[in-house]
């Protein structure tokens, strides 16, 4: 279960770090969402990690093999770790945003849950269950989504790609997202079993949402595990959001993401 603390109950500008730490107390898994290229979101994540006392940290951004490179001897050396992870060729934003988060690897184990391109393509073409290396049924990958959820998720994928995708390929994007959600949930539960609570998960808001992201899959696979989930935004949401709490920071300075589709 996720903790179901109504995000709309906090101040309109969002939650503070003390709010987050208080609400996350007692959770087995604490999921800290982000807009990947917003530096302020990573500052909040680092501040929460500093107060949380996490036993392990799961990153969406690296594979299990890369996670093995994040040893105590290198975790705090940003330049060396970025080189070891080949971060400049990863497609993720500036490593300076993530270095303070990886630095916690000097104290606690780091897990990676990044799905490789070949697996993501396999999910896109043949469904998440066909390529998931673990127990697909444990995370519901062997079942079709409810019709309303499928439609909502396809609409989100279309919006995320600037309304420029052919509708017939949207189900493939949803299956790739389901695969990534399952990989994160599996890694979080493995870390929890190995190290105890609380396990922190660093990931994008789409995976952090409680209604159909990682929290929902943990609830399916291990309903006894309490999950806290944080969403981070660049404007105050107009509608209720599927997170226990949320924060709001100024938008990152970025080029128009839809320019490439025009």
Task: Read off the pTM.
Answer: 0.95
Pairwise CA distance, residues 101 & 99, whole Å = 5
Cis geometry, peptide bond prior to residue 198 (ω within 30 degrees of 0): yes
Beta strands 245-248 and 227-233, pairing class: parallel
How deeply is 17 buried, as exposed, middle or buried, from its count of CB atoms within 10 A (0-12, 13-18, 19+)?
Answer: middle
CB 203 within 8 A of CB 33: yes
Backbone angles phi, psi at 53, to 5 degrees: 70, 40
Beta strands 199-202 and 29-32, pairing class: parallel
- Residue 247's closest CA among 231, 258, 262, 227? 231
CB 42 within 8 A of CB 104: no
* H/E stretch holding 193: helix 170-195
The pLDDT tens digits along the chain (262 residues) read 545 444 444 445 799 999 999 999 999 999 999 999 999 999 999 999 999 999 999 999 999 999 999 999 999 999 999 999 999 999 999 999 999 999 999 999 999 999 999 999 999 999 999 999 999 999 999 999 999 999 999 999 999 999 999 999 999 999 999 999 999 999 999 999 999 999 999 999 999 999 999 999 999 999 999 999 999 999 999 899 999 999 999 999 999 888 877 7
* H/E stretch holding 152: helix 147-160
pLDDT of residue 96: 97
């Amino acid at each position: 279960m996720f903790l179901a603390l109504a995000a709309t109950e906090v101040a309109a500008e969002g939650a503070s770090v003390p709010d987050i730490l208080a609400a996350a107390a007692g959770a087995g898994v604490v999921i800290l969402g982000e807009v990947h290229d917003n530096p302020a979101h990573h500052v909040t994540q680092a501040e929460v990690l500093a107060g949380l006392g996490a036993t392990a940290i799961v990153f969406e951004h690296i594979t299990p093999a890369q996670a093995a490179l994040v040893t105590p001897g290198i975790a705090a050396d940003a330049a060396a770790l970025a080189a070891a992870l080949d971060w400049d060729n990863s497609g993720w934003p500036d490593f300076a945003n993530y270095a303070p988060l990886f630095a916690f690897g000097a104290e606690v184990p780091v897990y990676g849950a990044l799905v490789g391109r070949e697996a993501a393509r396999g999910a896109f073409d043949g469904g998440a269950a066909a390529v998931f290396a673990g127990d697909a049924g444990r995370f519901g990958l062997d079942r079709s989504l409810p019709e309303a959820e499928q439609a909502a998720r396809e609409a989100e994928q279309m919006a995320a790609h600037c309304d420029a995708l052919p509708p017939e390929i949207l189900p493939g994007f949803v299956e790739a997202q389901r695969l990534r959600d399952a990989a994160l949930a599996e890694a979080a539960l493995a870390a929890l079993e190995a190290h105890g609570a609380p396990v922190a998960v660093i990931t994008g808001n789409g995976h952090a949402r409680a209604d159909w992201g990682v929290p929902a899959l943990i609830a399916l696979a291990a309903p006894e595990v309490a999950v806290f989930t944080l969403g981070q935004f660049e404007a105050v949401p107009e509608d209720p959001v599927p997170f226990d709490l949320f924060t709001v920071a100024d938008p990152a300075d970025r080029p128009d993401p839809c320019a490439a589709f025009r």
